[in-house]
């Protein structure tokens, strides 16, 4: 009987192309489309639970840390270094400050000046400017700036390479090869847009001096241009959560976290024991931290040790940075996973923390589930209503996870909806970069220096950099367009329309604004100015 009905339908649709397509879809939907989508839902729900549990765990840890944990100055031995007139500077260890840079025309003076103004005896401090610039004019300006500080009595040295082999890792490695570096016990690293306060070393170094097991003291980033536009506010929310929860939690529970590449002080012996700087991935800082941790070294994060820096304020610079930050950890995981499992110097729970929490959930599952579940699978369920997603997976878990992300930046709570849309719109870019790193494809080792535009707070009365950039690129629309994001914008809009007309879930309330976010990212216009 069923075969007869099917034959009648085929005969009736023979002259109607639309009807034929509809019938073909009905034939393959049940055995293939429904089954595949249902499998996708199950996989995404499992990843969502992994991410959700990790978020709850980190939230519980940070709550306990704030309520009951002792501060780092109480957990570890810490004593200020006295200024003894009779002893002079002999109580102060020798510290080298490294500033790697490449064509940093807008910020080199700020970073060099901040380093030279650190409160530390001049005969126990060396500033090492490591210049990878390719522009001869910028090289001359940086070299002249170093000479001017040298004339003021600052012990500063300028080093220039003729190539960019290994990028930042190669630059730091080259600087550490200098013969005089062996005289120094500790090294502080600051990127070109970072400006430490004068007391930075006096607050950080005592942890290393009095605790031989500590290899790294990491400070927190603060952003001078966080209020420049909506995009920088979104970045501030994500990074503040990273420092307030992830770094603080890792430091308090396992004495481990990923080195942020800047605003930190290392023990030279720890760097050497770990094998020094390596350029096998684009996250040389995280690579060094993993290798040092496998040797048994401990890390300390100081939430109150804050260093001013600059956020990418152009969308192009932000995308390039996010590619490196998403691709690099996945590529590093590919190379160190077995080494971590086989290591005998660290406890099993620390291995679980590093492999499962640090790498798998936070740096891979988080990107993939955000894109696949909320931008593909959930919209497809409106087109294939036979597949349902439980409310706890589609609404409750995302709502709780979203609320937890405001912990680091309470002042931006009212921007939470914009943050969700922005992060989801960026999820395709991050997911693609994650798989690029895991599979180590052509772009796995791509490195582009993040563009800095100087202190935006001092230029409030000047034309906004995003407006200037938009005007400059007015006739370069095709160059700035991101076609995959535009495609996902169309897809979400269609799913939203279908759900609005035929659906029962009300997902269109999410699909429509999310499609707009994808269109904005697709056209490359994300630097919306805040009132």
Residue 14 CB neighbour total at 10 angstroms:
11
Q: Which two tokens stand for residue 488?
A: 């996902």
Q: What's the pLDDT at 164?
A: 84
Residue 53, H or E segment: helix 34-67
Q: Is the pLDDT of residue 5 over 90?
A: no
What is the chain's length?
A: 531
Categorize the per-residue pLDDT at 38 as very low, low, confident or very high, splitting at 50, 70 and 90: very high
Instruction: Name residues whose C-beta falls within 8 Å of residue 478's C-beta, 6 or more positions apart in sequence.
Output: none
Residue in the structure block whose two tokens are 């002893």: 87
Determine the pLDDT at residue 25.
Answer: 58
Joined together, the tokens standing for residue 202 give 């006096």
The CA-based angle 257-323-431, given to 5 degrees, is 90
DSSP 193-213: T-B--TTHHHHHHHHHHH-TT
Residue 300, classed as helix, strand or coil, is strand
> Which strand (E) or helix (H) includes residue 158?
strand 156-160
Q: How many Cα atoms are found within 13 Å in the side-chain-facing hemisphere of 383?
A: 19
3-state secondary structure of 159: strand
Per-residue model confidence (pLDDT) at position 70: 87
CA distance 218 to 247: 9
Distance, in Å, from the CA atom of 408 to the CA atom of 244, rounded to the nearest integer, reads 5
Q: Residue 3's pLDDT is what? A: 52
Q: What is the pLDDT of residues 216-268, one digit of tens each?
A: 999 999 999 999 988 999 999 999 999 999 999 999 998 899 999 999 999 99
Q: By the 8 A CB rule, do 386 and 34 touch?
A: yes
Query: Which entry of 132, 191, 279, 287 is annotated as an active-site residue?
Result: 132
Contacts of 390 (CB under 8 A, 6+ apart): 45
Number of alpha helices (DSSP H) and beta strands (DSSP E) in the chain? 23, 7
Radius of gyration from C-alpha coordinates of the chain: 26
The one catalytic residue among 193, 285, 287, 499: 285
Angle at 23 between CA 18 and CA 29, to 5 degrees: 125
- 518-531: average pLDDT: 72
**Which pLDDT score, from 0 to 100, does residue 19 have?**
63
Average pLDDT, whole number, for the chain? Answer: 88
Beta bridge partners of 126: 96
Answer with the residue of higher pLDDT: 214 or 472: 214
The CA distances from residue 106 to 273, 316, 372, 453, 454, in Å, are 36, 17, 39, 6, 5
Q: Which residues contact 274 (CB under 8 A, 6 or more apart)?
A: 288, 291, 292, 294, 295, 297
The mean pLDDT value for 296-322 works out to: 93
Closest Cα to residue 408, out of 287, 270, 249? 249
> How far is the C-alpha of 523 from the C-alpha of 500, rounded, in Å?
26
Q: Do residues 122 and 154 lie in contact, with contact meaning Cβ atoms separated by under 8 Å?
A: yes
Q: Return the structure tokens found at 171.
A: 């630059």
Q: What is the pLDDT of residue 490?
A: 96
| Separation of alpha carbons 512 and 508, rounded Å | 6
Whole-Å CA distances, 302 to 73, 82, 95, 407:
9, 21, 19, 17
What phi and psi values does residue 125 have, to the nearest 5 degrees?
-130, 135
Task: Give the whole-angstrom CA distance, residue 74 versus residue 103.
Answer: 42
Report pLDDT for 526: 63
Distance CA 378, CA 374 (A): 5
The torsion angles phi and psi of 153, rounded to 5 degrees, stand at: 95, 10
**Structure confidence at residue 456 (pLDDT):** 45
Question: Side by side, which strands form the sheet with 186-189?
Answer: 156-160, 125-131, 95-101, 186-189, 264-267, 214-223, 298-309
Report if pTM > 0.95: no
Q: Are 122 and 115 in contact (CB under 8 A)?
A: no
| CA–CA separation, 218 and 204 (whole Å) | 8
**Residues 369-415: tens digit of each pLDDT:** 999 999 999 999 998 888 999 999 999 999 999 888 888 888 888 88
Q: How far is residue 299's CA from residue 98's CA, in Å, rounded to a whole number?
A: 19
Note if 287 is an active site residue.
no
Known active-site residue 269: no
């Amino acid at each position: 009987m069923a075969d007869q009905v099917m034959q009648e339908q085929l005969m009736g649709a023979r002259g109607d192309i639309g009807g034929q397509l509809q019938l073909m879809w009905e034939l393959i939907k049940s055995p293939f489309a429904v089954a595949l989508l249902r499998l996708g839902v199950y996989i995404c729900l499992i990843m969502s639970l992994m991410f959700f549990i990790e978020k709850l765990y980190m939230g519980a840890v940070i709550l306990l840390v704030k309520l009951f944990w002792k501060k780092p100055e109480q957990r570890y031995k810490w004593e200020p270094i006295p200024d003894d007139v009779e002893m002079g500077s002999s109580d102060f260890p020798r510290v080298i400050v490294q500033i790697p840079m490449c064509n940093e025309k807008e910020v080199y003076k700020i970073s060099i000046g901040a380093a030279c103004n650190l409160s530390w005896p001049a005969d126990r401090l060396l500033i090492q400017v490591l210049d990878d610039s390719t522009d001869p004019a910028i090289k001359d300006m940086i070299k002249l700036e170093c000479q001017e500080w040298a004339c003021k009595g600052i012990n500063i040295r300028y080093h220039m390479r003729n190539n960019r082999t290994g990028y930042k890792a190669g630059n730091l490695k080259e600087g550490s090869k200098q013969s005089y570096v062996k005289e120094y016990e500790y090294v502080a690293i600051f990127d070109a847009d970072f400006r430490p306060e004068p007391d930075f070393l006096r607050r950080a170094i005592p942890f290393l001096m009095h605790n031989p097991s500590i290899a790294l003291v990491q400070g927190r980033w603060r952003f001078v241009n966080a209020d420049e536009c909506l995009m920088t506010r979104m970045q501030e929310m994500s990074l503040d959560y990273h420092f307030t929860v992830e770094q603080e939690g890792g430091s308090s529970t396992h004495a481990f976290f990923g080195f942020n590449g800047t605003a930190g002080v290392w023990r030279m012996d720890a760097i050497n024991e770990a094998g020094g700087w390596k350029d096998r991935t684009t996250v040389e800082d995280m690579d060094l931290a993993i290798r040092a941790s496998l040797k048994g070294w401990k890390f300390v994060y100081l939430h109150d040790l804050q260093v001013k820096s600059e956020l990418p304020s152009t969308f192009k610079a932000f995308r390039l940075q996010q590619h490196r930050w998403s691709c690099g950890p996945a590529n590093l995981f590919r190379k160190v996973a077995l080494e971590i499992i086989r290591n005998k110097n660290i406890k099993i729970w620390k291995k679980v923390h590093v492999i499962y929490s640090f790498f798998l959930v936070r740096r891979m599952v988080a990107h993939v589930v955000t894109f696949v579940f909320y931008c593909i699978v959930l919209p497809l369920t409106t087109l294939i209503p036979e597949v349902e997603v439980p409310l706890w997976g589609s609404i409750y878990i995302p709502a709780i996870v979203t609320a937890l992300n405001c912990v680091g930046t309470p002042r931006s709570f009212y921007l939470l909806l914009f943050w969700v849309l922005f992060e989801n719109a960026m999820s395709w870019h991050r997911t693609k970069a994650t798989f690029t790193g895991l599979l180590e494809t052509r772009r796995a080792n791509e490195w582009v220096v993040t563009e800095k535009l100087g202190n935006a707070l001092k230029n409030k009365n000047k034309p906004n950099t995003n407006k200037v950039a938009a005007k400059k690129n007015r006739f370069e629309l095709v160059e700035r367009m991101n076609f995959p994001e535009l495609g996902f914008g169309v897809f979400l809009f269609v799913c939203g329309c279908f759900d609005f007309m035929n659906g029962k879930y009300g997902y269109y309330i999410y699909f429509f604004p999310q499609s707009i976010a994808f269109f904005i990212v697709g056209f490359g216009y994300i630097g919306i100015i805040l009132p």
